Amino acid sequence: MSQPRPRIGITRWEDVPAERFADYCDRVHEAGADPVELNHDGPAGGLDALVLTGGIDLAPERYGETPHPTVKRTDPARDAFETELLERALARDLPVLAICRGHQLLNVAVGGRLLQHIEDGGHRADYHAPAAPSRWHTVRLEPGSRIRDLHGADEIEVNSRHHQAVLPETLAPGLVATAFSPDGLIEAVESARHRWVLGVQWHPERLEAEHPGFAGRCRPLFEAFVAEARIVREPAR
């Protein structure tokens, strides 16, 4: 008899230009789990893992700073909602995959801060072009890290759609930096205090038609995440 598919909560709030919530759901479904949309109107119980998605900036007040002039739009209600979801997931030691804004929220929620604006525009999506294509750059993966083992490489090329970042000096206690961009931004983190908690600054859910190999390279990340959720889902033997 087949085992029940894990139920993975995926946070959804505002619609992000040129990004699709369905992409997160599709990648989770393809990896063998059932996606559950999480927002302020939906249930958040009975989940086996959590995905924190991309979106607008976190409110700098959450980490004790005055907003930079480039921080135009925030939503404290979303920040509070996702932080509560994350805290509940961490308390249960559920698998967590935090993507882009989610990567940043993970860092802030456990005691870190953010660089509020990257002066070089090379990390932001090109919103002046049709369909707002991603920027691209390499990241160096740290030896012995989970993300390095999943990719089987010391360096990979990733998409980039952000203007805020985690720096070595703003990294939260308990998180370990596991990937770096050429300009020194932390592009991936793992929790040293939990079974499987991983944040990536890039968008592994995007198909990126102009980079057809990207989706395939990201598939092991979702498969590993769902495999951890399946362990939670299966009854203790």
Q: 123, 187, 203, 218: which one is catalytic?
A: 203
Rounded to the nearest 5°, which phi and psi values hold at 125? -60, 150
Q: 19, 205, 208, 228: which one is catalytic?
A: 205
Long-range Cβ contacts of 211-220 (<8 Å, 24+ apart): 211/136, 211/157, 211/159, 214/157, 214/159, 217/151, 217/156, 218/27, 219/27, 219/30, 219/31, 220/150, 220/151
Instruction: Say how far residue 78 (Cα) sits from the centre of its chain.
Output: 15
**Residue ranges in the chain assigned as alpha helix (H):** 21-30, 76-91, 101-109, 146-151, 214-233
List, in sequence order, every beta strand (DSSP E) within 42-174. Answer: 49-52, 96-99, 135-141, 155-160
Q: Which uninterrupted H or E stretch holds 197? A: strand 197-200
Q: How far apart are CA 155 and CA 4, in angstroms?
A: 36
The yes-or-no answer on residue 205 being catalytic is yes
Q: 100, 151, 187, 194: which one is catalytic?
A: 100
Q: Which uninterrupted H or E stretch holds 178? A: strand 175-180
Which residue numbers are catalytic? 100, 203, 205
